[in-house]
Amino acid sequence: MNIKAQLKSSIFLILILASCQRPMPNKSISGVWIQEGYGRIITIKDSTYTYFNTTENSCLPLISNGKLTDRFRIVDFKNDKLILNPGGIVDYGFTRSDKLPEYCVNHNIKKDHSPELNFNILWNTFDKHYAFFEQRNIDWNSVKIEYQENLKNIQSDKELYNLFADILKSFNDGHIRLDVPDSLRVKNVISKKNENRKTKKEVINDIVTTYLNGFKSYNNDLIQWGILKKENIGYIVITDMNNFSNYIPNQDLTAQEFKQEYEKVLETKSGITQLDDELKGVDFAMNKILSDLAETNSIIVDLRFNGGGYETVALKLLSHFIKEQKHILSIKAKNGNNYTNEQEYILNPAKNVYQGKVTVLTSHNTASAAEIFALGTMAYPEIKRFGSSTNGIFSEILWKNLPNGWEFSLSNEVYSDPKGNIYEITGVPPNYETDYPKDRTSFYNSFYKGNEFKDIGIDKIITWHNTVYK
């Protein structure tokens, strides 16, 4: 064999050996996957999965041996990277792991009530996942130093609960919750001073009967709508961002009957199907509403009484009031000392879009998914916002477990507008401000002066509308 032939043979042999040593791409989705930014792990075998919620101390299955396509859509899969979508606007990123961590395989379900252990798990979980220490002016390291001293004196679960409640209350974050046995909670006693306080239902009922020529509703008053008296202005009040699915043809059921029938149907649906049905329900309701209000030249969308729900529902509703595609917001999740990759959300107009002018009413009680609707309107300057700034809690609620069996939640996602501005705490600002009380009861009662009912928000929009457009 000549030198040239020997060289070719040697190169060929090297290439063969290199290809044998190089790991072959893994074409199977089966395996163990670590979720980025949420402290969760998913194991997949064929078409089934188990989803674990983890802390430094625990690894508890949220769902065991479920059908993957009932809970997630596969967005992308490349060897050691997996992207799943649970039916929301945020995609979840996962990295492949060789095996399930030992503490997930042999997790101890025995409760441990040690104050020190439970405090450390709480503190470390917030340290890793909570996204707004700076915005909420929380020195988390100082909290650890201060409260660790108090742990030595804790003698009961009740005392530990009071300590944790004191820590978490300082955040003033409506998405932070502590789920404990009822026996540990202090029962609220309604004072006689509040006997005459108004409820959300009463206020909304007085709005629609006082200001509208007549009104219709959908899904147990989830949405109510009509046309303002003496004005060609439509009015829609949306009280929640879930339960939109068109499951119950009979809209004349009592609230309790409707809830029971709705939940019966809901139990037969997979998680992904439930969310799909919500969006179909939005289109169903909005087609009816926009048909009834088609001759109006302006619409008021009232979100003042809306505490949130599904962000997909909120943005599906918004899509019926916009006329062009836009990047409206971005999302990232806290991931230790860093963040997950930022995701841009592009909103597309619905097939059936309102053609007139749009105004949105907000209050400090407009929260979570409802204020994601408000955040989305900022990309459309033609939509004007009236009222007070929204609540300032945008993230999905991330739930975690403590060794003693308690559960707690926190905000780990950061929502921003296309320019990178964050509205956590401050909320989405209105274009035209009304100084509504922040306290819910005071807010409801502010609609009443003696025996007179008056909605200054609607009155202000009517005046503005007649000044600008007439």
Residue 187: the pLDDT is 63
Q: Which two tokens stand for residue 87?
A: 């039916």
Q: Which two tokens stand for residue 356?
A: 């007139």
Query: Given a cut of 50, is residue 350 above it in pLDDT?
Result: yes
Contact 414, 385 (CB under 8 A): no
Confidence tier at 196 by pLDDT (50, 70, 90): confident
Q: Identify the helix (H) or strand (E) that includes residue 300.
A: strand 298-302
- Greatest extent of the chain over all pairs of C-alpha atoms, in Å: 109
Residue keyed to tokens 């999905």: 396
Strand (E) positions, 19-176? 31-35, 40-45, 48-54, 59-67, 73-78, 81-85, 92-97
Query: Given a cut of 80, is residue 320 above it in pLDDT?
Result: yes
Q: Which two tokens stand for residue 29?
A: 């989705």
Q: How many CB atoms lie within 10 A of CB 268?
A: 9
* Lowest-pLDDT choice from 78-82, 186-190, 293-297, 313-317: 186-190
Confidence tier at 103 by pLDDT (50, 70, 90): confident
Higher pLDDT: 239 or 196? It is: 239
CATH for 192-469 (1.10.287.610, 2.60.120.650, 3.90.226.10, 3.20.20.70): 3.90.226.10
Query: Given a cut of 70, is residue 197 above it in pLDDT?
Result: yes
pLDDT, one tens digit per residue, over 281-294 is 999 999 999 999 99
Confidence tier at 13 by pLDDT (50, 70, 90): very low
Q: What is the DSSP letter of 432?
A: E
Q: Identify the helix (H) or strand (E) that includes residue 5.
A: helix 3-21
Rounded average pLDDT over 209-238: 96
Confidence tier at 7 by pLDDT (50, 70, 90): very low
Residue 22: the pLDDT is 53
CA distance 286 to 358: 14
CA distance 377 to 317: 11
* Lowest-pLDDT choice from 111-115, 346-350, 377-381: 111-115
Residue 11: the pLDDT is 47
Query: What phi and psi values does residue 277 have, to the nearest 5 degrees?
Result: -65, -35
Contact 206, 451 (CB under 8 A): no
Please state the pTM of the whole predicted model.
Answer: 0.91
CA distance 442 to 440: 5
Q: How many CB atoms lie within 10 A of CB 264?
A: 11
Q: What is the DSSP letter of 321?
A: G
Query: Given a cut of 80, is residue 220 above it in pLDDT?
Result: yes
* Lowest-pLDDT choice from 130-139, 193-202, 251-260, 331-340: 193-202
pLDDT, one tens digit per residue, over 150-182 is 898 999 999 999 999 999 999 999 999 999 998
Query: Given a cut of 50, is residue 18 above it in pLDDT?
Result: no
Rounded average pLDDT over 226-246: 97
Residue 14: the pLDDT is 45
Reference 468, options 297, 317, 326; nearest CA is: 297
- Taking the alpha carbons at both ends of the chain, their separation in whole angstroms is 97
Where does residue 381 rank: exposed (0-12), middle (13-18), buried (19+ CB within 10 A)?
Answer: exposed
Reference 383, options 337, 323, 469; nearest CA is: 323
Query: Given a cut of 50, is residue 85 above it in pLDDT?
Result: yes
Across-strand partners of 60?
Answer: 53
Show me where the domains of the chain are located: 31-105, 192-469
From residue 54, alpha-carbon distances to 61, 127, 222, 259, 430 in Å are 9, 14, 36, 33, 39
Query: Given a cut of 60, is residue 188 above it in pLDDT?
Result: no
Rounded average pLDDT over 451-457: 94
Query: Given a cut of 70, is residue 15 above it in pLDDT?
Result: no
Supply the mean pLDDT for the chain.
92
Contact 443, 433 (CB under 8 A): no
Rounded average pLDDT over 392-408: 95
Residue 267: the pLDDT is 95
Residue keyed to tokens 């009232």: 302
Higher pLDDT: 19 or 316? It is: 316
Query: Given a cut of 80, is residue 274 above it in pLDDT?
Result: yes
